[in-house]
Structure 1
Amino acid sequence: MKIPTICRYCGGTITLANPREVFGDGVTHLGLEGEYIYLCRTCNARVGCHRGSTRPLGKVANEVLRLKRRETHQIFDAFWQSHCMSRTEAYHWLGQQMGLSDKKAHIGSFEMDQCQQVIDLCRQNHRKAA
């Protein structure tokens, strides 16, 4: 994933930051002590990093998109767990369904419409399996 430098929402500068700037003392509760995020201090758009690294988890998102991605993850995770898939198998299935490579099939990179597509796919395929 490319390291973000310019905010796609406001054009501000995105910098590597301590999550404490956003979450305060909640970093300990969230398990983010010693971790990093990429943050636009102008509009609060951000993305977390893979544990123990400065590699972004996805694309920078504003509050609305972060909430949609969180909802999508909850539905997708429940879907693949209930279908006895591994996480890797689930993302492979998702990539096939969406016409994306395994490398591009990650919720952390998705936009609103792609998140909704994942939710719809999980709901449709859950009904088929039931």
Structure 2
Amino acid sequence: MDTEYSERRQRQRFLAQRDGKPCFFVLVGEVRIPLIDLSLEGFAIPADAGVVPQQEFDFVLRLSDIPDKIRGRARAMNKVPGEGEGQIGCRFESFEREGAADLKEWLTAHVMTMASVRISEKEAAAIVTGRSLI
């Protein structure tokens, strides 16, 4: 397990839950894995999900309440200590078709849905594309 960890993502990360339940999932092969967090740059999954640091893999990203899919390729970057076995941080390497634009749209809608105060789509998009607050 990595004992020295530094955040690599430059964009804001968002918890991949709604009402305390996972809402974003990634398919790696035939395995459906709930995401811990998601950003325009990557995502985190439980460390026991079957990928190891530096492994590159094809993925299918899903949002629980819509039939659309985002396909691409990601790389497992590091293992981070945490609850249970910890988590694996993954970076997007590439997207098929309009995957990057679709991800921005999904995250913008997610931010608007999860905001404790009403925000506009423009404000939500600025949060999604903005620098990490962590």
Could you state the TM-score of these two structures normalised by the residue count of structure 1? 0.27
Bigger CA radius of gyration: 1
Looking at secondary structure, tell me which structure has more strand per residue.
2
Higher relative contact order (CA 8 A, sep 6+): 2
Could you state the TM-score of these two structures normalised by the residue count of structure 2? 0.26
Looking at secondary structure, tell me which structure has more helix per residue.
1
